[in-house]
Amino acid sequence: MLQEVRTEFLKLFSSSPRLFCSPGRINIIGEHTDYNEGFVLPAAIEKNIYFAIAPNTCGKFRFYAYNLQEFKEFDSIKHQKKQLWENYLLGVVSQMQKTGKMIPSVDVVFGGTIPWGSGLSSSAALECGFAYALNEIFSLGFSKLELVKLSQLVEHESIGVNCGIMDQFAVMFGKKNHVIQLDCKSLDYNLFPWNVEGYTLLLCNSGVKHSLASSEYNVRRRECEDGVTIVSRHAESIHSLRDISSEQLERYASEMQGKTYQRCRYILDENERVQQMGKALLNGDAKQVGTLLFAAHTGMSCEYEASCVEIDEMVDIARSCDGVVGSRITGGGFGGCTITLVERDAVDSFTKQMTSQYYVKHNISPSFMEVVIGDGTREL
């Protein structure tokens, strides 16, 4: 893909580009905790978006999306309708300009190997990769953390998704064969070795993505904020779910309406599972890693209600397969993928059983990808 992107750039434009890559990310555990200032445990993966970029003198931003075979050019950075791919790039330029930086026009070709819509954060890879490249090419002086925050603002203001910071942080700070335990309140982080000898982590793509994902994401966020508002009436020090103890949540549960309590309960429990997962990895305890994955899925499905029938069935099938120690939904929810930890010798039998049973129910053949943990955004 890198060579194809470079070749396409040379065909379209007359200059020689610099080359960058930006990875997707997998979240091992800690779903929806990031925007509640909690803990997450993501990692960059060896599936990337590749960029060929060079300044131009025509005064236009010229973008070519290789996978889509779409070319677009802009005299200004005013974005179009939300969710169009060019808004991720235009949004990066806009956020940089808001800091007072002058961003010259550039030619860009990008293409990647991250499956779109699979919960691997291709959007964060696109934002972070372009931001990193502009910072390097024009010596803008942004730190990596500043680029992370800038890319998050692109989602908020140009795309309309009020996401937390996990995706961009994992994409930018990933390290090969390590997972990142990130404190989303302080942005302190620790690296843990991915230490599960004899096991393979598989991404299983359900082939479905329900349209309510984006709208329900914002609903869940508001429900969590409602819980914080209620508890903060009794304790002024409460600013997020991260500040609420289990005892406080139970004490004021009767004041919470609708699904507010169970959303908050899930977040508190998920934060604890992230802490336990770090210890399990340090100990090389694959069985405990798997137990935590199953528990996390139950929470996402039953308490946070961010799963769906197809994904729940994939996890149920995984439970019945020999050699599987854990499985859960990954990503924002309502479709997409599961991650499953399975003994290396049992991978073939697992994928065959999953394929046959899932196809019978949904007439869809799931796809599988071994997760290889790689480095973060960088120049090649």
Active site residue ranges: 167
Distance CA 322, CA 326 (A): 11
Closest CA relative to residue 25, chosen from 59, 49, 2? 49
Tokens 């700070």, residue located: 173
| Alpha carbon separation from 217 to 36, 129, 206, 315 (Å, rounded) | 13, 24, 19, 21
Distance CA 273, CA 270 (A): 5
Distance CA 26, CA 48 (A): 12
Output phi, psi for 67, to 5 deg: -65, -35
Other CB atoms within a 10 A radius of the CB of residue 279 amount to 11
Beta partners for residue 182, in sequence order: 40, 189
Tokens 């090649």, residue located: 380
| Alpha carbon separation from 131 to 36, 150, 368 (Å, rounded) | 25, 8, 30
Distance CA 27, CA 8 (A): 32
| Alpha carbon separation from 249 to 185, 197, 221, 230, 372 (Å, rounded) | 19, 38, 17, 10, 38
CB 314 within 8 A of CB 206: yes
Residue 248 region by backbone torsions, left for phi larger than 0, else alpha for psi between -120 and 50, else beta: alpha
Distance CA 99, CA 200 (A): 44
Pairing of strands 199-209, 189-193: unpaired
Q: Which H or E run contains 192?
A: strand 189-193
Distance CA 324, CA 336 (A): 20
Q: Which residues contact 156 (CB under 8 A, 6 or more apart)?
A: 162, 163
Mapped onto helix, strand or coil, the DSSP state of residue 213 is helix
